[in-house]
Structure 1
Amino acid sequence: GVTAPGSSTNVMVNFVLAKAGLKPSDVSIVGVGAGSGAVAAMRAGQIDAMSNLDPVVTLLQRSGDMKVVSDTRIVAESEKVFGGPMPAGCLYAPQPFLDKNPNTAQALTNAMVRANKWIQAAGPGDIIKVVPEGFLLGDRAVYIDAFMAAKGALSPDGSFPTKGADTAFRALASVDDKLAAAKLDLNAVYTNAFVQKANAKYPKG
C-alpha cells in the first residue's frame, strides 16, 4: 500500500525492495491514500505492507497494527535507504516561470524558510494550534508524536542539500524509465539563490 502509484512512497518501496534483492514487479502496488483510508486498508488486511506518511505511520505503529522496518523520518536511515540526502518537500517550477515571476518565487521561498525556522523553535503545543483538524486523524497526541519523530529531518534554513539532486534523480529514475535514460546536468536543476536571499532578509525567521 502506497499513497499513490508513482508517488514518493512508491519510490521508497522500490528502494527498500532493491536492498532486499527484489524488483518492483515482484509485488503488487496499491494506492491507499495518506489518511483514514490507509489506516482502514491496513487494519482490514487489504494490504500486507505499507509505505506511507505521518500521522498514518505513527497511528498504526502505536496501535500495534504495523511494525516499521525502515524509518526515513530518521535522517541517517533515509540516507542509508536512498544513498544520500533525499529532498522530500520543496518548491519547483519551470525556468520560464522563475524568469517571469521572480518576486512570486521569492515570496513563496520566504514563507517556507520562515516556516522552517519557526518549526525549529516551536513546541508540540505551538504546532498543534496551526495544523488543520483533518490532518490529525482524530488523535492530537499521535500527530504530536509523529511531528517530533520527523522534526530532525526538516531543513533548519530551507536549503537544498548539495547531493540532493543526485539522490532525487536516482529515486525518480526507479519509477520513470524515460527519466532514467535522460542525461541531465543536475547542478542546473536546483538553486539555493532564493533561499539565501530569504535567510538574509529573515535571519531569525
Structure 2
Amino acid sequence: MRCTRALLHSAAVFAFLASAAMATATSANASDKITIMVGGYEKQIYLPAKLAETLGYFKEEGLDVELLNEAAGVDAENQLLAGAVQGVVGFYDHCVDLQAKGKFVESIVQFSQAPGEVVLVSSKHPEINAPSDFKGKTIGVTGLGSSTNFLTLYMASKAGLQSGDVVTVPVGAGGTFIAAMQQDQIQAGMTTEPTISRMVKTGEASVLVDMRTVESTRKALGGTYPAASVYMESAWVDAHKEEAQKLANAFVKTLKFINTHSAAEIAEKMPKDFYVGDKDGYINALEAGKGMFTPDGVMPEDGPKTILAVLSEFSKNVKGKQIDLSKTYTTEFVKNVK
C-alpha cells in the first residue's frame, strides 16, 4: 500500500512538473525576442523605431523587441537575409529590389510617404547647381546598393547622365558624411536630418534637391515615394501573424503620437545624444519634416509604382523584370489596428 501511494505521489509530482515546464515553454515562446535592425536609428527618417521603444509601446503589446543600429540600409538588408534579425527599419524600395533577385520581403508598416532625404552640395563647389552637374563628381551615399544610392543614380539618369558619368561612394551619415565633405572626398551627397541641419547651419553645404516633404518629393521624382518602413521576410510574416500584428499595433500608435504631438514634445522622448549638441536645431528639423510620416502606416496608393519606375530606370536587377508589387507590401496588419 505504501509503495502504491508513493508511486501515485511521484506520478502526481511528475505531472505537475511537466505541466509547469510546458507552461513555462509556452510563455517563453510567446515572448521570444524580435530583433529589428535600423539603418541608422538616430536619423529622423527612422524616428518611429526608437520612439516606439521609449514610449513603451512594444512592452504594452507584450513584445520583447531589440533594436540594433546599422549605418546603411543595405547592410541591414543583408542581416535580414542571413537570418540574423527578424525585421529591418529601412526604405521600402529594398522590397522591390530584392524581389527582382528572387527574395520575397514585404513592408508591414509604412512609416513615411517621402524619403526625408536631401542632396547637399559642398560650399567649395558652387559649380554644382543641378543633378546634371554631377558629371565627373564624386557623390556621397550611405552605402552602395542603399536607397540613397538608388535615388542618386536615378536623378543622374533623369538629368541625362550616362552610367559612369558619376561616381557614388559610401560615406554613411552623421560624422562620417560631414568629414567626407569637409575633406572634399565628396563634392555632394544625399543624407538626412540631423546631418542636413548641421551642415547648412555652419555654411559648409547647401540644399540642392529637397525630398523632405510629399510636395517637394513629387517635384523631384514625379510621384509619392514611400520610404522608411518596417520590412520582414514574407515567410516569417506568414508564420508569425500574431507577432506581426502586435508590431503593427505598436508602430501605428507611434505614428499617431507623432501626428498628434509637437516636434518639441517628440524630441523630449528621444535619447539626448540624438540632438548632437543642438536640441533646438533637432526640433526645428523635425518640425519641418514631420509631414513625411504617414498617420496610419498605410502604403500610399501611388507609391509602389513610383518606386518601380525609379528602379527600372537604372537598376540592372530590376530592369526588364516582372515585379509583383502586391507582394512587396501588405496593409493587412495596419488596417486591423484598433
TM-score by length of 1: 0.89
Counterpart AA for 1:98: V
2:168 corresponds to which residue? 29
**Residues of 2 paired with 1:62 and 1:15: CA distance?**
28
2:218 corresponds to which residue? 79
**2:272 is the alignment partner of 1:133:** yes
CA contact (8 A) 2:157 2:314 kept: no
Say if 1:58 and 1:148 are closer, same or farther in 2 by CA, change over 3 A: same
1:174 deviates by: 4.9
Residue aligned with 1:178, SS: coil
Find the partner of 2:252 among 102, 105, 113: 113
**Residues of 2 paired with 1:165 and 1:115: CA distance?**
23
1:117 deviates by: 0.6
CA contact (8 A) 2:156 2:166 kept: no
Structure with more of its chain in strand, by fraction: 2
Counterpart AA for 1:12: L
CA contact (8 A) 1:54 1:146 kept: yes
1:15 corresponds to which residue? 154
Residue aligned with 1:26, SS: coil
Residue aligned with 2:207, SS: coil
Say if 1:19 and 1:177 are closer, same or farther in 2 by CA, change over 3 A: closer
1:168 deviates by: 1.9
2:181 corresponds to which residue? 42
CA contact (8 A) 1:39 1:60 kept: yes
**2:300 is the alignment partner of 1:161:** yes
Q: CA RMSD in A?
A: 1.7
**Residues of 2 paired with 1:116 and 1:160: CA distance?**
13
Residue aligned with 2:161, SS: coil
2:26 corresponds to which residue? none
Say if 1:133 and 1:33 are closer, same or farther in 2 by CA, change over 3 A: farther
Q: 24-33 or 46-55, which moves further after superposition?
A: 24-33
**Residues of 1 paired with 2:273 and 2:143: CA distance?**
19
Say if 1:19 and 1:13 are closer, same or farther in 2 by CA, change over 3 A: same
Residue aligned with 2:167, SS: coil
CA contact (8 A) 2:249 2:334 kept: yes
1:119 deviates by: 0.5
Counterpart AA for 2:305: D
**2:317 is the alignment partner of 1:178:** yes
1:90 deviates by: 1.1
Find the partner of 1:143 among 252, 274, 282: 282
1:26 deviates by: 0.9
1:43 deviates by: 2.1
1:42 deviates by: 1.5
Q: How many residues align?
A: 199
1:108 deviates by: 1.1
**Residues of 2 paired with 1:14 and 1:172: CA distance?**
9
Counterpart AA for 1:21: G
Unpaired segments ≥5 residues, structure 1: none
Say if 1:15 and 1:149 are closer, same or farther in 2 by CA, change over 3 A: farther
TM-score by length of 2: 0.55
2:94 corresponds to which residue? none
Q: 132-141 or 40-49, which moves further after superposition?
A: 132-141
CA contact (8 A) 1:11 1:174 kept: no
Q: Please give the per-residue CA displacement for 1:78-109, whole angstroms capped at 9, x wherever unaligned.
A: 12222221111112222221211001111111
- Kindly, what percent of the aligned residue pairs are identical? 36
1:175 deviates by: 5.8
**Residues of 1 paired with 2:152 and 2:243: CA distance?**
35
Unpaired segments ≥5 residues, structure 2: 1-139
